[in-house]
């Protein structure tokens, strides 16, 4: 349901017992901000910066980037906005960053690996973000994609802090970083789970390949176990754990994710209303019980069925 001038304001995301679960938007361009706000986004959980880079054969200038980031941040005064630095490679190839031929680009020089190999691009992006942050009132968080090791996480967080980023974190979308999330979260301020890549890498199935599309299901208990690992690490380190992959847009899976320890959910803005309504039906205790039912299954379809049955018995 869309908000209109005459209808009641959209409430913030929360469970039935009042536990807040901020509901945030995934955005790929600053121009999407107005619609996200209208649909009740409480901020931005994933701003993909690739659009600035994909359209040209050269990196955008610091000024071009500053303009785009300022437009984004200005749309969310006082609100959290999580910007992801460039995720080049694999499904997002860039001529000037990923020029070497790779047999397996999803396992190649992508994400933070590519930025480290071309550190000027990362430094320029952080410079532009710092300038946009200084000019606006949003609560800017910055994160790195495709982090696979504690060392990569520490590298990114340290360099981001050098540029004045107050809240620096990493995406957890590789199984190794989910398994070591407790170590990563010692230094990182937050984690955001990218369930699209986490599913691809856990099931070893290319997310773009139709013949293995049935493996790309975040309900798979192997994926859920990894998410639980990150949720537990967040609780132990008192650090927030968001979800920014497509999984957060599934109303029942959203409940499971909160039961596994997610503290915020980010999704395509059009999914916000259904997820908001679903969360309001369950307490945190319910969410944990529903998550346990899904975790105990052997496969994705049976996890979904088990969660549905557990959810029905709680309402």
Q: Could you say whether residue 89 binds Mg ion (CB under 5 A)?
A: no
Say if CB 84 and CB 49 are below 8 A apart.
yes
Closer by beta carbon to Mg ion, 45 or else 194: 194
Report the site for ligand PEP in 256-295 (rule: CB under 6 A). none
Tell the smallest beta-carbon distance from residue 199 to ligand PEP (Å). Answer: 8
Say if CB 78 and CB 37 are below 8 A apart.
no
Closer by beta carbon to ligand PEP, 144 or else 180: 144
Residue 293 CB coordination number (10 Å): 21
Query: 26 φ, ψ to 5°?
Result: -90, 125
H or E element that contains 232: helix 221-237
Closer by beta carbon to ligand PEP, 51 or else 284: 51
Stretch of 66-74, 89-97, 171-179, 306-314 lying at the interface with Mg ion (CB under 5 A) = 171-179
Say if CB 290 and CB 253 are below 8 A apart.
no
Q: Could you say whether residue 173 binds ligand PEP (CB under 6 A)?
A: yes
Say if CB 9 and CB 1 are below 8 A apart.
no
Size (the chain), residues? 315
CA distance 139 to 232: 25
Q: Could you say whether residue 197 binds Mg ion (CB under 5 A)?
A: yes
Q: Could you say whether residue 229 binds Mg ion (CB under 5 A)?
A: no
From the list ligand PEP, Mg ion, none, pick the one residue 245 interacts with, judged by a Cβ distance below 5 to 8 Å according to partner type. ligand PEP
Query: 275 φ, ψ to 5°?
Result: -70, -40
- Classified as helix, coil or strand, 115 is helix
Stretch of 173-181, 214-222, 231-239, 270-278 lying at the interface with Mg ion (CB under 5 A) = 173-181
Report the site for ligand PEP in 24-63 (rule: CB under 6 A). 46, 48
Q: Could you say whether residue 197 binds ligand PEP (CB under 6 A)?
A: yes
CA distance 100 to 162: 30
Quick note: the x/- pattern for ligand PEP over 123-142, rule CB under 6 A, is: --------------------
List contacts with Mg ion (CB under 5 A): 173, 194, 197
Contact residues toward ligand PEP (CB under 6 A) are 46, 48, 87, 173, 194-197, 244-245
């Amino acid at each position: 349901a869309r908000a209109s001038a005459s209808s009641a304001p959209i409430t913030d995301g929360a469970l039935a017992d009042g536990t807040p679960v901020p509901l945030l938007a995934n955005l790929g361009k600053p121009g999407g901000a107005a619609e996200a706000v209208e649909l009740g986004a409480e901020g931005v959980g994933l701003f993909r910066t690739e659009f600035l880079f994909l359209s040209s054969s050269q990196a955008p200038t610091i000024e071009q980037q500053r303009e785009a980031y300022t437009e984004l941040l200005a749309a969310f005064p006082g609100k959290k906005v999580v910007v992801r630095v460039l995720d080049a490679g694999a499904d997002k190839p860039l001529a000037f960053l990923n020029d070497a031929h790779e047999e397996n680009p999803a396992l190649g020089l992508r994400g933070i690996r590519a930025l480290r190999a071309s550190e000027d691009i990362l430094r320029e992006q952080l410079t532009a973000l710092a300038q946009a942050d200084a000019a606006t009132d949003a609560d800017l968080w910055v994160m790195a994609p495709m982090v696979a090791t504690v060392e990569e996480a520490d590298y990114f967080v340290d360099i981001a802090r050098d540029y004045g980023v107050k809240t620096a974190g990493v995406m957890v979308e590789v199984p190794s970083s989910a398994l070591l999330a407790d170590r990563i979260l010692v230094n990182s301020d937050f984690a955001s789970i990218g369930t699209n890549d986490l599913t691809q890498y856990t099931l070893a199935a290319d997310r773009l390949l139709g013949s293995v599309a049935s493996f790309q299901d975040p309900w798979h208990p192997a994926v859920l176990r990894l998410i639980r690992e990150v949720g537990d690490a967040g609780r132990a380190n008192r650090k927030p754990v968001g979800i920014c992959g497509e999984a957060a847009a599934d109303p029942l899976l959203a409940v499971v994710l909160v039961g596994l320890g997610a503290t915020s959910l980010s999704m395509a803005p059009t999914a916000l209303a259904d997820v908001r309504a679903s969360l309001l039906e369950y307490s945190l205790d319910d969410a944990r019980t529903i998550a346990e039912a899904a975790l105990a299954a052997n496969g994705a379809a049976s996890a979904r069925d088990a969660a549905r049955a557990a959810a029905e018995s709680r309402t």
